[in-house]
Structure formats: structure tokens, C-alpha cells
């Protein structure tokens, strides 16, 4: 059995991922959100590497490497280039106020703990804690997608949701590498699709505010103008 | 009998130590900030010189100042000095230790703040009023967060007394607890707000729209100002030693023996220096926020405290 301090470090790393999820909700600038996301990816990579070390599972190092390479470097750099290229507003328009969003976030954390507890009553306390953390990161990612109007920040919400999934997967023993690879690549594809999508929205509406999509019924562009 | 004398001597030593160290900590923060901004910065002894200069100067008071205005500096200074001397700095074995209760400390700081806000409004200038109202706004937001942190810690350790918290952390293999991590961040945010450091308030400004603490004490001069300034420095040192005492108590002397005390003092000075440097770096790397964003900042601190309490239940598995 693995000693306590190793679990403590694993949990501290997972908790810092969760904290950075809250930082994502707290940020008001697009650049700040992107930075917080990159930091979160670094934390996920650290958590995965630590699990690889404690579980003696070398393939998890690849998971960590993928997180570090793609999510901490490629995607943030690409996103900030998109932001600069499109000359977006520096501030984020929120649907809910920041404080309300944070409060909702704490509610979601409590909810995920309540959900995980009865479901895993036989499992070890430590696995439970990890699962609760991962589930709350997933829910916070969803919350981020709901409460932000801007397409770029919605992409980041989606990516941080995926961070939660990775965290849940590395916490339990024996995630096959195939699954991990396919998740990583599907996220990359999703990012490309999102990128295309962002450019298309921008082309059509001159903004990345998604509330304009709600009133849009698919008219042809020439009719609109 | 000698034990009692040693204890009293240690307590007096702590009273002296915090008083001597407080201006140095403030000076170090200023020096670090100046160096990082590319200035040479004032020497470390500058705060001492400032205090000495202010003490020599005449105290000018407004005609309509009442006794509240006059006694506030003395009481505030005494309260802060007491608070800073109660926190275990280099040893947990002090005669005042039973009184070093987190809730009592919050009450000490709260009464100091209350008096300062009253004194700020006493003369009736507009700046004093603005400063007092903002200070109270920050306080109403900061105090729930502090209490949340205290609840988290005391739920875990079953005590609100700082010496026993420190001894618990020292004595057990606590490791890195998620709740403690969250409580640490929450308490740090509160400390930044309460000591009037940069994202919340700028201690170096006299720009009318942004000042909080400075606006409140704008009317004071001479020895009164010296006492208020010293109280502010003690408040900074108090928070530094509180955070160090709860979260990094390593090095604290658990007995009255000579070598242990020496190690304790050295560790405390090192922790204070480290904390001051970190604070200086943090202040340089961040911009001051608007007054109305303070609610979000401290709301975040409160929520982190709450999360800490929630995770306590998860990790204890009840």
C-alpha cells in the first residue's frame, strides 16, 4: 500500500487543479482566463506524472506529456493568437455575476461530493476524494461554459472539463493508453473545430458573443445584409 | 519558581521582539518592491527613522476633535501590540499562550478597526468618512472569511488556540492537507485585505480616490501618527506570524530550553523575511483593483474557506 504522504501530494495537486477551475471562473480578462487555463494544464500534467510515479505506470507519463505539450502550450498559444488576431474585447461578459458564479461553483463541489459519497461507499477514502475533486472540476467546466457568453472562454470551459476527466482517469489504476490517446486527439480535433467555428461566428456576426446565435435562424448571409 | 521567571522573561522578549521586528518587516517589503521596480529604495532602517521623527514632532489636532480621536492611537497601538505578542512567534510556551485564541485575536483586531473607523469620522472631514466607510466594508467582507478559516482549522484540530494548533501540526504527520491548503490561501487573501496591501489598498498612496487606510488616518500627525503607523506595521507582522504559526510552525520551540529558543528565534526571523519578500514580489506583480471588486476578492476568500470545510468532511470520510 502506498504511504500517506504520496496520497497527500496527489490530493494537493488535484486540489490545485480545482482551485484553478475557480480561478477560471474568477478571471475577468480573456488573457487571464487563458493563463489560468495553461496553469491548470500544468497542474494536471503534474498530477498525472505523480500518479505515474506512485503507481509505477510509465504510460501515465505520456498522459502528462500530452497535457503539458498540448494543453499547457499549444492550445493557450493558439487561443491567444486567435484573440489577438480578431481584436477581441479584453473583458469577459458574464451571464451571472462573478460572485454568483463562484457561489454556484461551491454548490457544485458540494453536489459532486454528495454524489460521489454514496456511490463509492466501499472504495477507499482516498479514491473517493480524488473522484469528488475530478467530478467537481468537470461540473465547474460546464458551469464556465454556461456562464460565459464569449466563444473563446466557452472553448476553455470545455477544455477544463476535459482536464477533470483526465484527472479522474489517472486517479484509478490502469487506464489504457489507447483511451488516453484517443481522448487527447479528440480534444485536439475539438479544438480545431472550435477554432473554425470561432472564425465563422466572427465572420458572420462581427462578434464572438454567442447570444447573437440565439436569435439567428439560419438565414442566408446575403439576405441578412 | 525559576520556570515562571523564565516564562515571563520569554513573554517580555516576545513583546520586545515583535516591536523591534515590525518596522523592519515593513521596510523589507518596501525595499523588495523598490528593487523589483528598478529603484534603489529606502534602507531597511527607514521606517525606524520615520517613527522616531514623527515621535519628536508636535501633534496637531483639529479644534473639534473629541476624546475618541485623542485616545484612539494609544488604544489601537496597544491592541495590535497585544495581538502580535499573543501569536506564538518563536515558542509555544508562553504565559499568555492560553489567551492566544484565534477568536480572541479576531476580536482584538476588530476592536482596533472599530476605534480607527470612529476616529476617522470624528473630525468630520470627507476623507476620513470615506476611509472609514471603505474600511468597514472591507472588514464586513473579510471577517466571515476569517471565521470560515477558523472553523475549518478548529473542526480538524478541535481547538482554536494557536499554540495547540501549532503543536498539533508539529507533532503529527499531517502532510499536505487539501483543507489546509485552501485555508492557507483564504487566510492569505484576508491578510492582504486587512493589512491594506496592494490589490485592495495601496499603503504608499495619497491619491484621494483610491486610499482606504491612509484616508482614515489622514488627520493624524506627530506622535499620534507614529503610533498609528507602528500599529499598521504590527498588523502586518501579526498576519505574517499568524500564517507562519499555523501553517509553517516548524522551528517553533516547544520547550523553554536555550538552544530550542535560539532556533525558534532564528526560524521566526527567517520566516518573517521570507514572508515579507513574498509579499513584496506579489505586490509588484499585481495591479490594484477597483474598490467594488474587493467584494469579489474577499468573496473568493470566503468560498475557499467554505471549500476547505467541505473537503475536511470528505477526507475524514464521515
Given an 8 Å threshold on Cβ–Cβ distance, is B181 in contact with A12? Answer: yes
> What is the residue whose three cell numbers read 484540530?
B157
HEC string for B241-290: HHHHHHHCCCCCECCCCHHHHHHHHHHHHHHHHHHHHHHHHHHHCCCCCC
- Start-to-end CA distance of chain A, whole Å, equals 68
CB B110 within 8 A of CB B143: yes
CB A34 within 8 A of CB A156: yes
Let me know if B36 is exposed, middle or buried by CB neighbors in 10 A (0-12, 13-18, 19+): middle
Q: Is A111 on the interface with B (CB under 8 A)?
A: no
| Burial B62-98, CB ≥16 within 10 A → b, else e | eeeeeeebeebbebbbebbbbbbbbbbbbbbbbebbe
* Nearest Cα to Cα of residue A89 among A25, A153, A24, A157: A153
Given an 8 Å threshold on Cβ–Cβ distance, is B176 in contact with A12? Answer: yes
Q: What is the pTM of this model?
A: 0.84
For A91, other C-beta atoms within 10 Å of its C-beta total 11
A120 CB-near residues (< 8 Å, 6+ apart)? A127, A128, A131
Using DSSP, how many helices (H) and how many strands (E) does chain B show?
11, 0
| DSSP code, position B95 | T
Q: Is the dihedral of CA A99, A102, A106, A108 positive or negative?
A: positive
Shortest distance, CA A45 to any CA of chain B (angstroms)? 18
Query: What pLDDT shows up at residue B318?
Result: 45
Chunked into runs of 10 residues, chain A (225 residues) has average pLDDT values of 66 86 86 90 90 82 84 86 76 76 88 81 68 89 86 83 84 68 74 76 72 67 47
Question: Of all residues in chain A, what percent are helix, strand and coil, respectively (each to 5)?
Answer: 80, 5, 15
Closest CB from A5, A15, A99 relative to B299? A99
Given an 8 Å threshold on Cβ–Cβ distance, is B176 in contact with A26? Answer: no
Query: What pLDDT shows up at residue A132?
Result: 85
Given an 8 Å threshold on Cβ–Cβ distance, is B177 in contact with A103? Answer: no
Query: What pLDDT shows up at residue B174?
Result: 57
CB B10 within 8 A of CB B85: no
Given an 8 Å threshold on Cβ–Cβ distance, is B300 in contact with A109? Answer: no
The range of the structural domain enclosing residue B131 comes to 2-316
Q: Is A123 on the interface with B (CB under 8 A)?
A: no
Shortest distance, CA A213 to any CA of chain B (angstroms)? 30
Query: What pLDDT shows up at residue A224?
Result: 46
CB B90 within 8 A of CB B265: yes
Helix axes A151-171, A177-205, angle to 10 degrees: 170
CB B253 within 8 A of CB B268: no
Query: What pLDDT shows up at residue B197?
Result: 87
Q: Minimal Cα distance from A98: which residue of B?
A: B296
Shortest distance, CA B148 to any CA of chain A (angstroms)? 14
Choose, out of A15, A25, A96, A101, the residue to mutate when testing the contact with B (most B CBs < 10 Å). Answer: A15
Shortest distance, CA A5 to any CA of chain B (angstroms)? 6
Query: What pLDDT shows up at residue A148?
Result: 82
Closest CB from A5, A26, A113 relative to B310? A113
Helix axes B2-36, B258-284, angle to 10 degrees: 20
CB B134 within 8 A of CB B121: no
Given an 8 Å threshold on Cβ–Cβ distance, is A102 in contact with B311? Answer: no
Let me know if A211 is exposed, middle or buried by CB neighbors in 10 A (0-12, 13-18, 19+): exposed
Q: What is the rounded radius of gyration, in angstroms, for the C-alpha atoms of chain A?
A: 19
| Burial A34-44, CB ≥16 within 10 A → b, else e | bbbbbbbbbbb
Given an 8 Å threshold on Cβ–Cβ distance, is B307 in contact with A113? Answer: no
HEC string for B45-80: CHHHHHHHHHHHCCCCCCCCCCHHHHHHHHHHHHHH
- CB-facing half-sphere around the CA of B40: CA atoms within 13 A: 3
Query: What pLDDT shows up at residue B9?
Result: 86
HEC string for B147-211: HHHHHHHHHHHCCCEHHHHHHHHHHCCCCCCHHHHHHHHHHHHHHHHHCCCCCCCCCCCCCCCCC
Q: Minimal Cα distance from B299: which residue of A?
A: A99
Query: What pLDDT shows up at residue A173?
Result: 66
Q: In whole angstroms, how far apart are CA A67 and each of A134, A168, A173, B190?
A: 16, 14, 19, 33
Q: Rounded to an integer, what is the distance from CA B202 to the centroid of its chain?
A: 16
Given an 8 Å threshold on Cβ–Cβ distance, is B300 in contact with A102? Answer: yes
Query: What pLDDT shows up at residue B1?
Result: 65
* Dist. CA B311–CA B152, nearest whole Å: 9
Angle at CA of residue B127, ends B123 and B129, nearest 5° = 65
Query: What pLDDT shows up at residue A171?
Result: 74
Q: Minimal Cα distance from A12: which residue of B?
A: B178
* Dist. CA A86–CA B276, nearest whole Å: 41
Structural domain total, chain B: 1
* Dist. CA B240–CA B29, nearest whole Å: 12
Q: What is the rounded radius of gyration, in angstroms, for the C-alpha atoms of chain B?
A: 20
Q: Is A8 on the interface with B (CB under 8 A)?
A: yes
Given an 8 Å threshold on Cβ–Cβ distance, is B311 in contact with A22? Answer: no
Q: Minimal Cα distance from B317: which residue of A?
A: A125
Question: pLDDT digit of tens for each residue in chain B (318 aa)?
Answer: 677 888 888 888 889 999 999 999 999 999 999 999 999 989 999 999 999 999 999 988 888 889 999 999 999 999 999 999 888 888 887 887 788 888 999 999 999 999 999 999 998 888 889 889 999 999 998 999 999 999 888 888 888 888 888 888 887 665 557 788 888 999 999 999 988 888 888 877 777 777 888 888 888 999 999 999 999 999 999 999 999 988 888 888 777 677 888 888 999 999 999 999 999 999 998 888 888 788 888 988 988 888 888 877 766 654
B264 CB-near residues (< 8 Å, 6+ apart)? B89, B90, B91, B251, B252, B253
CB pairs under 8 A between A and B: 63
Let me know if B206 is exposed, middle or buried by CB neighbors in 10 A (0-12, 13-18, 19+): exposed
Query: Can you read off the three cell numbers belonging to residue B134?
Result: 471603505
* Dist. CA B150–CA B221, nearest whole Å: 36
* Nearest Cα to Cα of residue B298 among B216, B233, B201: B201
Amino acid at each position: 500500500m502506498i504511504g500517506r504522504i504520496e496520497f497527500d501530494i496527489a490530493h494537493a495537486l488535484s486540489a490545485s487543479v480545482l482551485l484553478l477551475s475557480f480561478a477560471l471562473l474568477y478571471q475577468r480578462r480573456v488573457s487571464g482566463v487563458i493563463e489560468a487555463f495553461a496553469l491548470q494544464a500544468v497542474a494536471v500534467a503534474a498530477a498525472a506524472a505523480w500518479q505515474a510515479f506512485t503507481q509505477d505506470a510509465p504510460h501515465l507519463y505520456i498522459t502528462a506529456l500530452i497535457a503539458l505539450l498540448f494543453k499547457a502550450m499549444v492550445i493557450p498559444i493558439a487561443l491567444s493568437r486567435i484573440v489577438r488576431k480578431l481584436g477581441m474585447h479584453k473583458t469577459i461578459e458574464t451571464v451571472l455575476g462573478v460572485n454568483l458564479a463562484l457561489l454556484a461553483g461551491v454548490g457544485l463541489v458540494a453536489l459532486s461530493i454528495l454524489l460521489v459519497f454514496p456511490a463509492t461507499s466501499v472504495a477507499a477514502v482516498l479514491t473517493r476524494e480524488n473522484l469528488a475533486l475530478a467530478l467537481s472540476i468537470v461540473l465547474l467546466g460546464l458551469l464556465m461554459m454556461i456562464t460565459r457568453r464569449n466563444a473563446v472562454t466557452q472553448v476553455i470551459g470545455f477544455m477544463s472539463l476535459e482536464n477533470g476527466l483526465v484527472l479522474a482517469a489517472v486517479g484509478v489504476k490502469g487506464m489504457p493508453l489507447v483511451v488516453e490517446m484517443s481522448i487527447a486527439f479528440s480534444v485536439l480535433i475539438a479544438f480545431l473545430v472550435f477554432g473554425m467555428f470561432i472564425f465563422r461566428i466572427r465572420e458572420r456576426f462581427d462578434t464572438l458573443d454567442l447570444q447573437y446565435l440565439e436569435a439567428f435562424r439560419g438565414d442566408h448571409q446575403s439576405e441578412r445584409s | 519558581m525559576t520556570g515562571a521567571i523564565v516564562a515571563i522573561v520569554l513573554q517580555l522578549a516576545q513583546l520586545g521582539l515583535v516591536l523591534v521586528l515590525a518596522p523592519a518587516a515593513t521596510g523589507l517589503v518596501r525595499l523588495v518592491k523598490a528593487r523589483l521596480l528598478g529603484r534603489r529604495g529606502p534602507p531597511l532602517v527607514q521606517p525606524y527613522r520615520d517613527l522616531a521623527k514623527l515621535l519628536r514632532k508636535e501633534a496637531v489636532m483639529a479644534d473639534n476633535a473629541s476624546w475618541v480621536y485623542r485616545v484612539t492611537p494609544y488604544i489601537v497601538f496597544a491592541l495590535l501590540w497585544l495581538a502580535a505578542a499573543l501569536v506564538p512567534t518563536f515558542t509555544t510556551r508562553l504565559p499568555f499562550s492560553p489567551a492566544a485564541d484565534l477568536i480572541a485575536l479576531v476580536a482584538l483586531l476588530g476592536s482596533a478597526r472599530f476605534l480607527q473607523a470612529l476616529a476617522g469620522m470624528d473630525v468630520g472631514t470627507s476623507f476620513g468618512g470615506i476611509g472609514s466607510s471603505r474600511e468597514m466594508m472591507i472588514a464586513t467582507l473579510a471577517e466571515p472569511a476569517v471565521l470560515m478559516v477558523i472553523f475549518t482549522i478548529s473542526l480538524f484540530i478541535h481547538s482554536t488556540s494557536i499554540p495547540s494548533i501549532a503543536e498539533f501540526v508539529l507533532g503529527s504527520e499531517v502532510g499536505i492537507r487539501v483543507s489546509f491548503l485552501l485555508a492557507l490561501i483564504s487566510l492569505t487573501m484576508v491578510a492582504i485585505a486587512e493589512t491594506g496591501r496592494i490589490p485592495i489598498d495601496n499603503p504608499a498612496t495619497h491619491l484621494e480616490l483610491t486610499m482606504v487606510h491612509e484616508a482614515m488616518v489622514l488627520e493624524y500627525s506627530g506622535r499620534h501618527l507614529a503610533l498609528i503607523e507602528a500599529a499598521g506595521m504590527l498588523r502586518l507582522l501579526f498576519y505574517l506570524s499568524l500564517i507562519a504559526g499555523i501553517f509553517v510552525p516548524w522551528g517553533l520551540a516547544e520547550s523553554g530550553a536555550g538552544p530550542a529558543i535560539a532556533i525558534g528565534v532564528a526560524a521566526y526571523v527567517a520566516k518573517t523575511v521570507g514572508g515579507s519578500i513574498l509579499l513584496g514580489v506579489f505586490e509588484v506583480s499585481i495591479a490594484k483593483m477597483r474598490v467594488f471588486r474587493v467584494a469579489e476578492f474577499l468573496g473568493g476568500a470566503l468560498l475557499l474557506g467554505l471549500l476547505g470545510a467541505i473537503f475536511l468532511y470528505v477526507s475524514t470520510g464521515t
